[in-house]
Chain A
Amino acid sequence: MAGIAVLCEIQGGQVAKGSLGVLEEAARLGAAIGEPVTAVVTGSGLDDAALAALGAHGAATVVAADDPRLGAGLAQPVADACAAAQEAGQYRYWLAGATIMTADAMAGLAARLGAGIVIDAVELVADGSDLVTRRSGLGDSVLAHCGFTTPVGVVVTRSNAVAPSEQSAGSAPV
């Protein structure tokens, strides 16, 4: 397993800001633990130029799944697409910023892969060559440092826990 995949959600025809923030955080972590970052975008009628622009937010590669069923807001087709991307890319970590759709899709993917899943992560930290999450608990009074024992780890970050910067340049192969 190698690399970090970030599920990027399309909202209103554009990649959601929450997804961009997680993508940038993944790029920072990927540099620290030596793992390349792939943006996985699912939707209907995706725009190649907009996808390539994800390179400005840290994606080394963009994998796009374009199908009308992926634009309906349902999680299970998205989990199917992520599973197909995993089959091809053999990623070590999957990250997503929490929305109802991405959380459900990541749950489906984790169950399918038998992967450990951490939700409500508020920080992502490099620990040697591993990714460790800080998960908030007990009414935000404690942070649990959660890592993985499975070959693939799935992380859903708290909604808007990481905000994107104002990036303007850069592109990635789609």
Chain B
Amino acid sequence: MRIAICVKEVPDPSAEKRIDEGTNRLVRAGENTLNPYDRHAIEAAVRIKEGPAPDTEITVVTVGPESAARSVDRALAQGGDRSVHVADEAAAGSDLLGTARILAAALRRDQYDLILLGQQAADAECYVMAGLVAELLELPCVTQAASIEVGDGSVTVKRQVETGYDTVRAQTPCVVSVSDAINDPRYPPLPAIMGAKKKPHEVLALADLGVDPATVGAAGAGTKVGGLSKPEGRGDTVLIEDDGTAAEKIIEFLVEKKVVA
């Protein structure tokens, strides 16, 4: 079985984030890391390889600047076998559809049985990439997978929806995004971290994929950010400083609001 996992490098969730007011883009110059949601997709693929399909090859696919290679290494250390990294300055500023176009072009080069994504990106909180990529590849798509069972020419996915769980069977090849409830991703041991750099890395430009730069990047974006603003405050917010009487003040507030008697 051939599994591709789309991963993204994102700013470290614990680092302070800011937006460049000149470009209206997220500043990515600080500490970055592998999107935490993608680690669940990698773990799901590794469990397939360790279980029902031991001949599985796991390919990590990403779009991002050269610095994203560090996150690719982390994904390989967690269990990926090889990587495809699309690094091209013309891709900078891609919106959702532009990124999906590049990923789809990279995924089209190989015949994958299963394409996995995390449920969302931790930076832009985008949760529609699976749907975009699947449509561009004309493949079935199942999102929010809470479990994946691999069958002969199909996968059976139990998915988390607003009203509970659905069970969906999709023919392979297909695209599946996994919920963060699907598993607990493993932490790679030191030998795996050291060995990641020795795994096959392929770095590609847009031209290698036949992607027209005019359809991606800032130039090809179908959306434009015209400005930024601060959200309005929530009104009657009460800030309680803990001077040793915070608990009493909170109880007084809750009693006043009739939340507790």
**Which residues of A approach B to under 8 Å, CB–CB?**
11, 73-76, 79, 99-101, 103-108, 110-112, 114-120, 122, 127, 132, 134, 136-138, 140-150, 153, 156
Contact = CB atoms under 8 A, between A and B. Distances in A.
B185 to A, nearest CB: 22
B214 interface: no
A122 B230 CA distance: 13
A21 B141 CA distance: 28
Contacts, number: 131
B225 A114 contact: no
B228 A116 contact: no
A108 B226 contact: no
Nearest to A139: B17
Contacts of B67: none
A146 B136 CA distance: 23
Nearest to A106: B128
B225 A145 contact: yes
Interface of B: 17-19, 24, 26, 95-97, 100, 124-132, 134-136, 140-141, 143-144, 159-163, 166, 168, 221-231
A132 B226 CA distance: 9
B229 A142 contact: yes
Contact of B221 (A112, A122, A149): A149
A103 B128 contact: yes
Contacts of B124: 137
Q: Which residue, of A122, A127, A142, A144, has the highest number of chain B Cβ atoms within 10 A?
A: A144
A76 B141 CA distance: 8
Given A111-B100, A119-B127, A145-B228, 17 more contacts: A73-B166, A100-B143, A100-B159, A104-B130, A107-B129, A108-B131, A115-B222, A117-B96, A117-B132, A117-B222, A137-B26, A138-B17, A141-B231, A144-B24, A146-B225, A149-B221, A149-B222
B131 A104 contact: yes
A141 B159 CA distance: 31
B207 to A, nearest CB: 21
A120 B121 CA distance: 13
A73 B141 CA distance: 12
B96 A75 contact: no
B143 A104 contact: yes
B36 to A, nearest CB: 15
Contacts of A73: 161, 166
B179 to A, nearest CB: 10
Nearest to A107: B131
A36 to B, nearest CB: 23
Contacts of A150: 222
A100 B127 CA distance: 9
A118 B24 CA distance: 15
B224 A103 contact: no
A118 B97 contact: no
B128 A156 contact: yes
A132 B134 CA distance: 27
Which 3 A-B pairs give the minimum distances between C-beta atoms? A116-B222, A107-B131, A111-B135
13 contacts: A11-B163, A74-B168, A100-B144, A101-B161, A103-B131, A104-B143, A107-B128, A107-B132, A116-B95, A137-B26, A145-B228, A146-B225, A146-B226
A74 B166 CA distance: 10
Given A116-B95, A136-B231, A141-B231, A111 B222 contact: no
B12 to A, nearest CB: 13
A143 B97 contact: no
Given A100-B162, A138-B17, A149 B224 contact: yes
Contact of A148 (B100, B132, B222, B231): B222
B96 A119 contact: yes
Contact of B226 (A76, A111, A112, A145): A145
A115 B223 CA distance: 9
Contacts of A149: 221-224
A18 to B, nearest CB: 10
